[in-house]
Amino acid sequence: MNRDEYIMPPDPNYGKLRIKDNTLPNYNISFTNKGGEVGKLDFNGPEMKFIGNADESAKVLFDWLTEAFKLRLEQERKQERARCIEQVKRTLEALENP
């Protein structure tokens, strides 16, 4: 088997997938909402290009970021809250037992 010839899945009834040497990966980032694609960052050329509706794409991006970091931010807030409570307890204990 050549390096550019693969069988997926390993059943000859499904045929072969051939990857050509001159095939480049797609480095686009697409922004989509319920209506479809609203914008795209294209990294495939010598410079990055944006195509589409910038305002709607920004909304899609920040909605995604909000969800992606929501759990992490909640965990950090809980840890910080617990750290502050412990600090207050230690301060009160030090004031009660000089």
Tens digit of each residue's pLDDT (9 = 90 or more) over 30-89? 999 998 999 999 988 889 999 999 999 999 999 988 888 888 889 999 999 999 999 999
Q: How many other β-carbons are positioned within 10 Å of the β-carbon of residue 28? A: 13
Q: Report residue 65 as tokens.
A: 């970021």
Query: Higher model confidence: residue 1 or residue 93?
Result: 93
Stated pTM of the model: 0.49
The Cα 45–Cα 24 span in angstroms is 11
Q: Please report the pLDDT score of residue 10 as a whole number.
A: 55
The Cα 14–Cα 12 span in angstroms is 5
Contact 26, 44 (CB under 8 A): yes
Q: How many other β-carbons are positioned within 10 Å of the β-carbon of residue 70? A: 10
- Indicate whether 5 pLDDT > 70: no
Q: Report residue 47 as tokens.
A: 């410079």
